[in-house]
Amino acid sequence: MTAPSTYGLSTQARNLQWLLTDLVEEVPGVNSVAVVSSDGLLLLSSDPGGAAAGAAGGPGEEPARTKGPRGASADLATIVSGLGSLTTGAAELMEGGAVKQTMVAMEHGSVFVMAISDGSLLGVHATPDCDMSVVAYHMALFVGRAGHVLTPEVRSELRQSMEKTP
């Protein structure tokens, strides 16, 4: 995987990007990761160039992964935002309280969504043979470390950096 550029980012934003990259590289079966703001905007991605290039690698490089969601971080962000909205609505109708985690197991992979304290969501797309408990554990670690760092200033900085990504 090609690490995204952290040039010009604050220490907090660089640390969040490092935590996200570490999640992808250290947890077996994780294909891609996205952090989405409460209003559905992509804040962080394991493949920020994916929306344009279709893969995590640079021009001319082999993709870091071969399967979905159509190779684009924007697609994963859309899925995460939609699942977050759907499950929040369901929880309200059922008077179930706040949604903590959502998991969708499919024939060819899994999608996990976990709430971050500020209303943002962490989404992970993983292989069908991943150890779901290991993925969930590492997502919880990320959420615990990232929750207090995602201030309005850092969210704004991350949005701007994603807009600049080719």
Can you tell me whether residue 61 is helix, strand or coil? Answer: coil
CATH ID of 12-164, from 3.30.70.260, 3.40.50.720, 3.40.47.10, 3.30.450.30: 3.30.450.30
Residue type, 121: L
* CA gap 110, 137 in Å, rounded: 15
What is the residue-level pLDDT of the chain in tens, covering all 166 positions? 434 455 678 888 888 888 999 999 999 999 999 999 988 889 998 875 443 333 333 333 333 444 444 456 778 999 999 999 999 999 999 999 999 999 999 999 999 999 997 789 999 999 999 999 999 999 999 999 888 888 888 888 888 887 776 5
User: Which strand (E) or helix (H) includes residue 80?
Assistant: helix 73-93
